[in-house]
Amino acid sequence: MSKLIASDPSITSPTTGGSAHGSTGLGNSSRRSGMESSVLRFKNVNFVAGKGKNEKHILRDVSGRVSWGHVLAIMGPSGAGKTTLISSLTLDAHYGTPSGAVTLNGVPLTDNIFKKHCYVVKQHDKHWPYLTARESLLYAADLFEVADKSDIPAIVDDIIHKMGLDICADTRCARLSGGQARRLSIAMALLKQPTLLFLDEPTSGLDAAAAENIMKEIVRVAKDERIIIVCTIHQPSTKVYNGFDQLMIMSKGREVFAGDVADSIPYFESIGHPCPPDTNPAEYFLDLANADFSDDKAVEYLLDTWEERKPGAGHSSHHGKSWDDDDGQEGVTSYAGTSFFKEMGIMMKRHATLIIRDPILYLGRCAAGLLANIFFAFVYWNARVYEQEQVLNKMWVIIWFSGVITNMAVVAVYALNDEFKSIVREAKNGMVTGFTYVMAKNVLTLPFILLLSVCCLGIPGFVIMDFPAEGAKMYFFLFAAMLFVFESVSEFFSILFDDPILGMLQLMNFWFASFLFGGFVIPLDDMYYPWTIFYYIMPFSYFVRSALYETLSHATFATCEVGTQSAVCIQEETPGAGVPGIEVLRAFERVMPIAEAEDNTVRDTLILIGIGLAFKLLYTVGVILKTRRVAKIQQTAVHSYTSSSKKSNVSSGSIKSKKNVATRTQKPMIPDVVSSQAAVGLPAEVYSQEIEV
C-alpha cells in the first residue's frame, strides 16, 4: 500500500493555484487538504457527564474505523448517545468528560487538524439570516479558498443544483424552510471538501424524497471525493437505509451493531430477530434497540450479545481490517490557510452587507435613537431657551439623550450573541478566526458609532434644542465615545454567556449602576466611600460633566429677575448683554457638583475611549478563547505511528509522518499502543478490541 504524503502545501494548496473542485463543481478528486486516502479511527470512546453523585455515563466504549470513500451512518433511538458521540469525535463535548482515542490517519485529532481537515454540520442549522443561500455559499467558498475567484460562482451554482436549492438560491436564509436550511448546511460542508465530514441528522426536517436524494449525494460525494463521512440518522426509509454502506446502531450509549449494512439483517437473524418481510429494517432494528418503549432486559441482551460477538472481539478483525490497519494515508498534511488580510476583506464585505440589511442592530438603532431623542426634545420643549430657570432641565435633556440610546445597547447584546454563535461554528470548521471577526467588526462599527452620534444629537440637540454650534464638534465626539463604551460593554456581555438573556441583564445592571453613580442622582461627596469607585469607573459622570460644559459654556443666558425661583439666578452686569454661560455653569456647580466650569471635554472623551477599549480588550480575548474552545478527548490510548516503527513530526498546523516499512512488517500481534499519558510516563493500555465498521 502506497502511503505517500503530500507534505508540501504547494502541492495542493488552492492559494497556489490548485482548484479543489474543478470548474464544474464537485467531482474533482484533487483535494484541498492533499490527503487522498484517509482513515478515521475511534476507540473506546466514553463520555461521562456530571461529577460525583450526579455522574452519568453516556457513552461506553464505542469504537469504530471508517476509511475514505465510506459513509458511516449512526442510528439509534432518541437519547441513544448519537449526538454525544459526534460531539466527542468533533472535540465539542463540553459539559462532561470525553475519553478514548480518536485519530485521523494515525494522528490524534486536535483542534488545529479539525479546523483544517474536518467539518461538522450540527443538528440545528445556523445561517446568516440576511444573506441569501447563494451569498452564504459564495462567502464560504471565498473564505475556504476553494478555487480561483473566477471559478467560484460555477462551483457554487453546481452545488446549489446538486443540493436541490435552485428554487431558493436567492432567498434570504431567514426565510428558508427547515429542509432547505439543512441542505444549505450540507452544501457549505461539501464546499470545503474536508477529509472528514460529520453530519448530525442531515435528513431531519426533510421529506422522504429529499432525504433519499441527500443521502445519495452524501454517499456519492464520499466516494468521488474520497471523503470520510460520519452521520447520525433518525429512522431512515428503506431506500435511504439500503443506500448506506456502513452502519452503527446504538442504544444506551453502547453499540448494538456495527458493520456493513448488508451484514445487519443476517446478524439480527442470527441472534433470534429476523427482520419480517416488507418491513423497513431500520425501523425494525430501532424498535428492538429502543429501551424507552421495549423491554429493558431485551435491549441489555442485544448490547451484551454484540459485545461478545462483534467481529473485532478477540483481535480478529472485520474484513481483515483492524484499528491497527493503515490502509489510509499516514499523517495529516498541511496547507496554507487564507491570509489574514484576505480573510479580513471578505469578513468586512460580508458584515457591511449585514449591517445594511439587518434593521435591528445598526440602522434600526439609528432610527430609534433619532425618534427617542426627538421625543425628549419635545418633552423638554421649554428648556430650548437660554433662561437660567431652565438650567436643570437642560441637564436632564442631556442625560435622557444619552441615557435612552445607551440603554438600547441591550438589543445589541441579543443580536451579537446570536451572531457570535454563527462565528463559533464557522471558526470550528476553519472558515474564519475569532480575531479577524473582531477586527473586521471594529473597522465597520466605528463609522456606525459616529453615525449614531449624529442621529441622536443632530436634529434633536442642535436643531430642536438649539445647542450652541460652537460646542458641536466636541459634543459629537464625546457622545460617540459614550456610545463606544456601551457598544464595547454590549459586545463583552454578548459573548460572556451562552444565554443572551443573562448578557442583557448584565448590561442593564451596568447601565443602571452607571446612571446611579453618574454624579447627578447622588453627588460624589455624598456617596458612601466604597461606592465612589463606581463614579470613577462608570462612564456617565465623564459624559454628563463635559456635555454640560459644551451645552452651557458657549451660550449667553438671559438675565435672572430677582426673586425668580431658580437653581441658578445671576443678574447681567451690563443691561442687555445677558449672562455668559460659563458664569451660569459656575453657579450651577454649587447646586449640582457634577457640573464644572472648566473645559475637560478632551480628557473626558479620552477616559471614555479608555473604558471602551478595556471592555473591547476583554471582548477580544473572550472571542479568541471561545472560538478556540475544545473539549479535548482524554486520550486513554492511541495507537501510535509515533512508536518505534514510525516517527511523527509535529509542527504548528502540520503533522507529517514517515513510514518505516521494515519495522512495520515486524508489527506485533497486539498493537503497539502508546498514549499521550504513556508518553509522559504512564503505562500504555493494550486494546483488546478491534473492529472496523
Ligand X SMILES: Nc1ncnc2c1ncn2[C@@H]1O[C@H](COP(=O)(O)OP(=O)(O)OP(=O)(O)O)[C@@H](O)[C@H]1O
Q: Say which residues have a Cβ less than 8 Å from residue 100's Cβ, sequence separation at least 6.
A: 42, 43, 44, 45, 46, 62, 88, 633, 634, 635, 636
CB of 505 to ligand X, least distance (A): 24
Q: Which is nearer to ligand X, 125 or 343 (CB)?
A: 125
CB of 518 to ligand X, least distance (A): 43
Q: Which is nearer to ligand X, 232 or 636 (CB)?
A: 232
CB of 79 to ligand X, least distance (A): 4
Q: Which is nearer to ligand X, 56 or 216 (CB)?
A: 56
Q: Which is nearer to ligand X, 246 or 251 (CB)?
A: 251
CB of 124 to ligand X, least distance (A): 10
Q: Which is nearer to ligand X, 220 or 234 (CB)?
A: 234
Q: Which is nearer to ligand X, 94 or 664 (CB)?
A: 94
CB of 59 to ligand X, least distance (A): 8
| β pairing state of 56-67 and 39-49 | antiparallel
Q: Is 290 helix (H, G, I), strand (E, B) or coil?
A: coil
CB of 45 to ligand X, least distance (A): 12
CA-based nearest residue to 22, from 296, 224, 324, 284: 224
Q: Which is nearer to ligand X, 96 or 331 (CB)?
A: 96
Q: Which is nearer to ligand X, 116 or 122 (CB)?
A: 122
H/E run at residue 171: none
CA-based nearest residue to 473, from 461, 486, 487: 461
Q: Give the position of cell 473542485.
A: 21
Cα–Cα distance for residue pair 44/413, rounded to 1 Å: 41
Cα–Cα distance for residue pair 487/481, rounded to 1 Å: 10
Q: Which residues bind ligand X (CB under 6 A)?
A: 49-50, 56, 58, 76, 78-84, 95-96, 234
What's at 33, amino acid-wise? S
Q: Which is nearer to ligand X, 203 or 406 (CB)?
A: 203
Q: Which three cell numbers stand for residue 499?
A: 444565554
Q: Which is nearer to ligand X, 83 or 417 (CB)?
A: 83
Cα–Cα distance for residue pair 358/677, rounded to 1 Å: 50
Q: Which is nearer to ligand X, 9 or 81 (CB)?
A: 81
Cα–Cα distance for residue pair 275/690, rounded to 1 Å: 27
Query: Are the C-beta atoms of residues 693 and 258 closer than 8 Å to each other?
Result: yes
CB of 232 to ligand X, least distance (A): 6
Cα–Cα distance for residue pair 391/168, rounded to 1 Å: 59
Q: Is 53 helix (H, G, I), strand (E, B) or coil?
A: helix
Cα–Cα distance for residue pair 668/659, rounded to 1 Å: 16
Q: What is the DSSP string of 414-473?
A: HHHHHHHHHHHHHHHTTS--HHHHHHHHHHHHHHHHHHHHHHHHIIIIIIIS---GGGHH
CB of 312 to ligand X, least distance (A): 23
Q: Which is nearer to ligand X, 249 or 431 (CB)?
A: 249
Side-chain half-sphere CA neighbours of 630 within 13 A: 17
How far, CA to CA in Å, does 176 sit from each of 129, 165, 171, 209, 317? 9, 10, 7, 18, 46
DSSP state of 144: H
Q: Which three cell numbers stand for residue 364?
A: 434600526
CB of 284 to ligand X, least distance (A): 18
Query: Are the C-beta atoms of residues 449 and 442 closer than 8 Å to each other?
Result: no
CB of 358 to ligand X, least distance (A): 31
CB of 298 to ligand X, least distance (A): 19
Q: Which is nearer to ligand X, 84 or 643 (CB)?
A: 84
Helix then strand then coil, in percent of the chain rounded to 5, is 50, 15, 35
CB of 634 to ligand X, least distance (A): 16
CB of 290 to ligand X, least distance (A): 11
CA-based nearest residue to 121, from 224, 39, 197, 174: 197
Side-chain half-sphere CA neighbours of 635 within 13 A: 22
